[in-house]
């Protein structure tokens, strides 16, 4: 609702009230007319808190932190439907607002705290088609390959015994449908019509729940492509507005090559339809997401790099299918590199090549492009997401329900606790590859065990509106968390004075005297810049342990990286040589998952200068914040079911957040 419209409503209410109140008399000494209560106009124009609550807050020039999810699937995605999901976009938005919805496994889902923004990103490929094929009243249901989907999500078909048929349907429906289209059995206009109708409903639901100043929705979809060897090349496409949109989303049908997606987006942009794409699960790309050549295998030129960065200013650094920041084999001096690594290609358990699959390495490759005088195709800000396929984000370790509906609805199916005999025996007979033995116990063999309870996208924006949040996406003033609502500020500049972070106007000074995350910082002669990093913890999560700055730099034709602890909990300081904080002694009691509450900090901040600064070396810097250790979701599963934690899985993790980088440009650059 516009402020102008609210103004007229308020005036009409006031006018109506005046019409209902009799005129005051000089002799009126009743409480209503007494001078102690003020005049009638004064009483009528007193602030009404209920009306104020309806009005959007005033924009904050110093910007607010808003948290959300830009990667959410509902029943309209073919895989989510097969996984048992029946909730639609409207249910997903209600969940984001704090309402309760039902998991495909039959239990209730409610967020600990509502989100500020949300985007339903159902797969453009065969959008809405599986749901249509399951409905026996439709034309789509009449094909033989649709029969296994008939009434698949009936209330009495969501238990353990439906798992194997669902896995089989997931593997056969799409190939059979594609074959039908290729041989002429299926009219492609039938599936296209379903997709267009579904897309219209997605747009309508986003418009219905968008509430400027209070809750922001984005019209969006997932472009689901891959290489022929199943290297993941998926992107989520987020539209800025909803007043003018294409009649249908762009899918792998239109082009398997992501460059085709960028051309489509550029064409829409020329018509005034603005969007951006966010790559995700580079960890499962088999080295293809951040390679050094284009789709055709040719060297990347400047035109390619500019087109990619114009359309893809952000990257999803963490989500349920693993964190893509870095890998131990790429960052052997980073003790925290092995965080929720999902080592497989998406959709199975084929190993994914590490080289070319992780974000920090991509940033370093970007420096190498620029050092060679070329444009970098890898200059992105960071967001997190869930990739939920239940309509509901699962970012709480203590209440993890994963992402694939019926297929991982229980600890046994997630592989975190042993299978009982009544499950392991039939499972082993029907799908022996799905069962593995560990220390004499039978477990589900599944990539879900490597999934993480992650993550969230966050922005610094003036107000909670599409325009303001999307502008933050574009300028890369974004950060990512693995689930907790940690807030992080990051500035760089040359005039920052000691005491900046204690000043009441520290944020205003940061913006006025420097640049924020996502920006470039140009050299000023030989002067070393100062970096202001500031993080506040989530009161619902563990205290903060350390604040770090991750640096990457180029020296000739080589690139390097280093992690610096810049602020330590409990008043400790980093060692001058190792740049590491001392162990603060935080521990986890695995008998009940309680953790140390007497160590750690609610807030960490530092005004830092790079001790290895070289004004001639281009570099990037980003902030990483680590919490004290807490129980991993798999440990919670074991604890609740009376089991010991699985011996081959980490029992604890350190939740974290990442700022977008700041890029230092040497004078020659």
Calculate mean pLDDT across residues 633-651. 97
pLDDT above 50: residue 50: yes
pLDDT above 50: residue 497: yes
What is the pLDDT, as a whole number, of residue 49? Answer: 60
Q: What is the pLDDT of residues 219-277, one digit of tens each?
A: 999 999 999 999 999 999 999 999 999 999 999 999 999 999 999 999 999 999 999 99
What is the pLDDT, as a whole number, of residue 17? Answer: 33
Can you count the helices (H) and strands (E) in the chain? 16, 28
CB–CB of 120/205 below 8 Å? yes
What is the pLDDT, as a whole number, of residue 421? Answer: 87
- Rounded to 10 deg, the angle between the 163-182 and 188-209 helix axes is 120
What is the pLDDT, as a whole number, of residue 39? Answer: 42
For the chain, percent of residues with pLDDT exceeding 90: 84
pLDDT above 60: residue 642: yes
pLDDT above 50: residue 3: no
What is the pLDDT, as a whole number, of residue 8? Answer: 35
Q: What is the pLDDT of residues 96-153, one digit of tens each?
A: 999 999 999 999 999 999 999 999 999 999 999 999 999 999 999 999 999 999 988 8
pLDDT confidence of 170, banded at 50, 70, 90? confident
Tell me the pLDDT of the chain averaged across its residues: 91
Calculate mean pLDDT across residues 429-433. 79
Taking the chain, what is the end-to-end CA distance rounded to the nearest angstrom?
47
What is the pLDDT, as a whole number, of residue 475? Answer: 99
pLDDT above 80: residue 598: yes
pLDDT confidence of 28, banded at 50, 70, 90? very low
CA distances from 252 to 47, 75, 233, 426, 520 (A): 54, 19, 10, 37, 34
Q: What is the pLDDT of residues 341-396, one digit of tens each?
A: 999 999 899 999 999 999 999 999 999 999 999 999 999 999 999 999 999 999 99
For the chain, percent of residues with pLDDT exceeding 70: 91
What is the pLDDT, as a whole number, of residue 256? Answer: 96
pLDDT confidence of 9, banded at 50, 70, 90? very low
Calculate mean pLDDT across residues 572-592. 97
- Rounded to 10 deg, the angle between the 89-96 and 188-209 helix axes is 30
Three-class SS state of 315: strand
What is the pLDDT, as a whole number, of residue 25? Answer: 35
Q: How far apart are CA 478 and CA 179, in angstroms?
A: 42
- Percent helix, strand and coil across the chain, each to the nearest 5: 30, 20, 45
* Nearest C-alpha neighbor of 604 from the set 567, 654, 638, 571: 567
What is the pLDDT, as a whole number, of residue 54? Answer: 61
What is the pLDDT, as a whole number, of residue 317? Answer: 99
Instruction: Tell me, yes or no, if the pTM score tops 0.75.
Output: yes
What is the pLDDT, as a whole number, of residue 23? Answer: 35
Place of tokens 């590490």: 354
pLDDT confidence of 667, banded at 50, 70, 90? confident
pLDDT above 60: residue 331: yes
What is the pLDDT, as a whole number, of residue 159? Answer: 79
């Amino acid at each position: 609702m516009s402020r102008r419209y609210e103004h007229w409503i308020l005036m009409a209410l006031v006018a109506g009230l005046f019409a209902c109140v009799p005129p005051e008399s000089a002799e009126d000494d009743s409480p209503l007319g007494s001078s102690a209560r003020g005049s009638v106009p004064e009483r009528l124009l007193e602030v009404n808190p209920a009306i104020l609550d309806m009005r959007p807050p005033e924009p904050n020039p110093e910007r607010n932190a808003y948290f959300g999810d830009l990667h959410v699937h509902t029943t309209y995605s073919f895989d989510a439907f097969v996984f048992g999901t029946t909730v639609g976009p409207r249910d997903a938005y209600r969940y984001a607002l704090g309402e309760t919805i039902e998991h495909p496994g039959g239990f209730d889902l409610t967020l600990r705290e509502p989100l500020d923004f949300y985007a339903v990103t159902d797969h453009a490929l065969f959008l809405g088609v599986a749901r249509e094929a399951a409905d026996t009243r439709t034309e789509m249901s009449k094909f033989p390959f649709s029969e296994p989907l008939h009434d698949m999500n009936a209330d009495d078909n969501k238990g353990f015994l439906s798992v194997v048929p669902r896995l089989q349907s997931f593997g056969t429906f799409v190939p059979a449908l594609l074959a039908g289209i290729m041989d002429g059995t299926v009219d492609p206009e039938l599936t296209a019509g379903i997709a267009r109708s579904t897309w219209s409903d997605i747009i309508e639901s986003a418009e219905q729940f968008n509430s400027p100043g209070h809750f922001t929705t984005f019209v969006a979809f997932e472009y689901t492509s891959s290489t022929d060897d199943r290297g993941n090349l998926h992107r989520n496409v987020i539209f800025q507005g909803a007043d003018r949109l294409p009649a249908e989303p762009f899918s792998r049908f239109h082009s398997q090559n992501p460059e085709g997606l960028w051309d489509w987006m550029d064409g829409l942009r020329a018509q005034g339809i603005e969007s951006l794409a966010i790559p995700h699960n580079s960890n499962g790309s088999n080295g293809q997401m951040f390679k050094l050549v284009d789709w055709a295998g040719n060297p990347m030129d400047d035109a390619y790099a500019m087109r990619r960065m114009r359309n893809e200013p952000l990257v999803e650094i963490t989500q349920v299918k693993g964190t893509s920041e870095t890998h131990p084999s790429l960052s052997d001096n980073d003790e925290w590199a092995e965080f929720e690594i999902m080592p497989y290609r998406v959709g199975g358990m084929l190993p994914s090549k590490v080289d070319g699959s992780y974000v920090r390495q991509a940033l370093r490759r970007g420096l190498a492009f620029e050092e060679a005088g070329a444009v970098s195709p890898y200059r992105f800000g960071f967001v997190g997401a869930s990739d939920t396929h239940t309509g509901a984000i699962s970012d709480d370790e203590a209440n993890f329900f994963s992402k694939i509906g019926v297929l991982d609805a229980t600890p046994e199916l997630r592989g975190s606790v042993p299978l009982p005999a009544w499950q392991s025996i039939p499972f082993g007979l029907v799908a022996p590859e799905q069962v593995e033995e560990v220390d004499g116990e039978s477990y589900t063999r599944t990539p879900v065990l490597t999934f993480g309870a992650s993550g969230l996208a966050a922005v610094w924006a003036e107000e909670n509106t599409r325009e303001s949040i999307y502008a933050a996406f574009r300028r890369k003033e974004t950060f990512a968390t693995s689930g907790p609502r940690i807030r992080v500020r990051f500035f760089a500049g040359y005039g920052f004075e000691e005491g900046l972070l204690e000043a009441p106007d520290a944020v205003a000074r940061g913006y006025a005297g420097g640049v924020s995350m996502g920006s470039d910082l140009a050299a000023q002669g030989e002067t070393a810049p100062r970096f202001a990093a500031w993080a506040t913890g989530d009161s619902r999560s563990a205290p903060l342990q350390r604040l770090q700055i991750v640096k990457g730099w180029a020296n000739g034709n080589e690139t390097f990286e280093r992690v610096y602890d810049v602020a330590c909990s409990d008043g400790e300081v980093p060692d001058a040589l190792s740049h590491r904080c001392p162990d603060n002694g935080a521990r986890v009691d695995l008998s009940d998952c309680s953790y140390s509450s007497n160590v750690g900090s609610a807030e960490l901040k530092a005004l830092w200068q790079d001790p290895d600064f070289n004004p001639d070396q281009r570099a990037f810097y980003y902030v990483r914040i680590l919490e004290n250790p807490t129980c991993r979701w798999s440990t919670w599963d074991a604890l609740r079911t009376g089991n010991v934690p699985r011996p081959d899985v980490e029992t604890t993790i350190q939740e974290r957040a990442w700022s977008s980088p700041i890029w230092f440009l040497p004078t020659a650059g």
